[in-house]
Structure 1
Amino acid sequence: MKGIIFTEFMELVEEKFGLDVLDEVLEMSGDEGIYTAVGSYDHRDLVKLIVNLSKKTNIAPETLQQVFGQTVFKTLLAAIPQNASIGTSRSTFQFIRHVEDYIHVEVKKLYSDAEPPKFYFISESETDMVMDYQSARCMSHVCLGLIEGCAEHFGEKLNVEMTPQSDDNSTVRFSLTLV
């Protein structure tokens, strides 16, 4: 997992809960908290940080992942080159399509060891999209938050249903409906 995810997570924890809570979560996790935005790190370290933040704050890990996804969307959006085709997206659905067709492809070109999630599009209309999110990292609630952050960016309101397609949540079906 790319370091930008870790650095953004730690910034969010510090902003929302304070430096003392971040330090305690790092200590609980046996983590020194030294990450670079371009480095690659084991996603289990992020999971450990989320679980320990949940213990410290009594907020469900899924909720923490969702809020993180909503927040990190803006940072990831800002990191996209201005001339990228994804910049022509005019809606949440278009953007999500471009994530699979452009961002995940570019990530693989830049970082051959990267394993971005996969989106499998089941159906799409003007008002509905059904897709399967597949990731060995099982962080579908981060994906949910990213989708919500995207919809906010485009000024759209979505109803989102998540349906696990596997016992370990490595595949989750997202049914998105514009309201």
Structure 2
Amino acid sequence: MKGIIFTEFLELVEAKFGIEVLENMLEMSDDTGVYTAVGSYDHKDLVNLIVSLSKLTKVAVEDLQQVFGRAVFMNLYKSLRNSAPIVDCKTTFQFLRQVENYIHIEVKKLYPDANPPKFNFLSESESTLEFDYHSARCMSHVCLGLVQGCADKLDETLDIKMTNQVDDGSHVRFNLSVV
């Protein structure tokens, strides 16, 4: 997993919960908190940090993932090149298709060992989109937050339903409806 995800997470924890909670989370996780944005790290380290934060704050792991995804969306969006086709998207549905068709491909070009999530689009109309999220990292609630962050950026209101297709959360179906 790219280090930018770790650095963004640590910044969010400090901003939302304070430096003391950040330090306690790192200590509880036996983690130094030293990450570079361009480095590659084991996703299990991020999971460990989120679990520790959940224990400290009494906020569910899934809720923390969702808040993180929503908060990090704008920073990731700002990192896109202005020439990237994704910046011209006018709807969340268009954007999600470009995540799969552009961003994930570019990530693989830059980092051949990267293993980004996979989106399989099942059906789409003007007001609905159904897709499957596949990831060995089982962080579908981060994906949910990213979708919400995208909708916020594009000034859309979406009704989002998630349904696990397998118990471990590595395959989740998303049903989005424009409200």
Q: Give the TM-score range, shorter chain.
A: over 0.9
C-alpha distance in structure 1 between counterparts of 2:9 and 2:88, whole Å: 28
1:27 matched to 2:27? The reply is yes
Q: Give the corresponding residue for 2:172.
A: 172
- TM-score w.r.t. length of structure 1: 0.99
Q: Give the corresponding residue for 1:135.
A: 135
Q: Give the corresponding residue for 1:97.
A: 97
1:61 matched to 2:61? The reply is yes
Q: Give the corresponding residue for 1:6.
A: 6
Q: Give the corresponding residue for 2:45.
A: 45
Q: Give the corresponding residue for 2:86.
A: 86
Q: How far did 1:87 drift? A: 1.2
C-alpha distance in structure 2 between counterparts of 1:84 and 1:141, whole Å: 26
Q: Give the corresponding residue for 1:115.
A: 115
Q: How far did 1:39 drift? A: 0.3
Alignment deviations for residues 113-164 of structure 1 (CA, whole Å, 9 cap, x no partner): 1000000000000000000000000000000000000000000000000000
Q: Give the corresponding residue for 1:153.
A: 153
Q: Which SS does the other structure have where 2:90 is aligned? A: coil
Structure 1, unpaired ranges of 5+? none
Amino acid aligned to 1:126: E
C-alpha distance in structure 2 between counterparts of 1:62 and 1:71, whole Å: 14
Amino acid aligned to 1:8: E
C-alpha distance in structure 1 between counterparts of 2:22 and 2:40, whole Å: 21
Amino acid aligned to 2:163: T
Size of the alignment, in residue pairs? 179
- TM-score w.r.t. length of structure 2: 0.99
C-alpha distance in structure 2 between counterparts of 1:87 and 1:141, whole Å: 23
Structure 2, unpaired ranges of 5+? none
Amino acid aligned to 1:134: H
Amino acid aligned to 2:175: S
Amino acid aligned to 2:143: C
Amino acid aligned to 1:9: F
Q: Give the corresponding residue for 2:74.
A: 74
C-alpha distance in structure 2 between counterparts of 1:178 and 1:63, whole Å: 22
Aligned-residue identity in percent: 63
Q: How far did 1:167 drift? A: 1.6
Amino acid aligned to 2:14: E
Amino acid aligned to 2:112: S
Alignment deviations for residues 25-54 of structure 1 (CA, whole Å, 9 cap, x no partner): 000000000000000000000000000000
* Runs of 4+ residues over 4 Å off in structure 1: none
